[in-house]
Amino acid sequence: MNEPRRVFLFSGHMIDAKGRETPRFPPEKERVAANAIAAVLDEFGACDRDLGITEGACGGDLLFAEALLDRGGALELRLPFNEPTFLRESVDFEKAPSPLPDRWHQRFEKVKARAKVLVMPEVLGPTPEGESPYERCNLWMLLDGLAMGPERLCFICIWDGKGGDGPGGTRHMVEEVRSRGGEVRWLDTTKLW
């Protein structure tokens, strides 16, 4: 792809694991979230001249990736760890006995087959001791997106407005985008469901 017309950067909640004490992204709200993400992409006329960048976790990331690919956009998955570790931490964790126990894993594989996959330790080297790989990955995605032209960048997030379960979540990305004057399209889950 030549220079993209627009760069869509995405971060958002993962689908809640079974038994999550405080629900944040209940599995039954998947269609609501997918429709909200699709509406933002449609508002911007997302097309084959656009690039999307996200990690690819189960939930918001994969819903965004599927929606962008459906509109012909190019996609980069940026993994903060090697793929087996990423799958264990961010895709397969919510597996439970059900008719489709590998549903998110299968969706990750389908998206990955159509995306450029970049593994942070292979590109940037190991995460320095004491540094969060998630925060480092957020900055890597953001700075590379901004390098293509800050006027092209649109950050979309699906988020409840609170702190995450650890460093490097959506709140961190929102703060980093805003500190650089970037556009934030916040899909507020406290209003979506």
Residue 1 lies inside a defined structural domain of this protein = no
Q: If we measure between CA atoms, which residue out of 60, 69, 70 comes closest to residue 32?
A: 60
CA distance to 22, 37, 68, 155, 187, per residue, from 41 (Å): 29, 6, 7, 11, 12
Q: Check residue 167 and give its pLDDT.
A: 77
Residue 167 lies inside a defined structural domain of this protein = yes
Residue 148 lies inside a defined structural domain of this protein = yes
Question: Residue 9 CB: number of other CB atoms within 10 A?
Answer: 27
Tell me the pLDDT tens digit for each residue of 15-64.
998 888 888 999 999 999 999 999 999 999 999 999 999 999 999 999 99
Residue 49 lies inside a defined structural domain of this protein = yes
Tell me the pLDDT tens digit for each residue of 139-172.
999 999 999 999 999 999 999 998 876 777 899 9
Number of structural domains in the chain: 1
CATH number for the domain spanning 91: value is 3.40.50.450
Give the span between the Cα atoms of 60 and 93, in whole angstroms: 15
Which residues partner with 65 through β-bridges? Answer: none
In the predicted structure, residue 99 carries a pLDDT above the cut 50: no
Retrieve residue 106's tokens: 């299968």
Boundaries of domain holding 145 = 6-192
Residue 130 lies inside a defined structural domain of this protein = yes
Retrieve residue 134's tokens: 């998630």
Contact 6, 44 (CB under 8 A): yes
Residue 25 lies inside a defined structural domain of this protein = yes
Residue 187 lies inside a defined structural domain of this protein = yes
pTM of the predicted protein model = 0.93
Task: Give me the residue label for tokens 């379960």.
Answer: 165
Q: If we measure between CA atoms, which residue out of 63, 47, 139, 147 comes closest to residue 108?
A: 63
Q: Check residue 94 and give its pLDDT.
A: 56
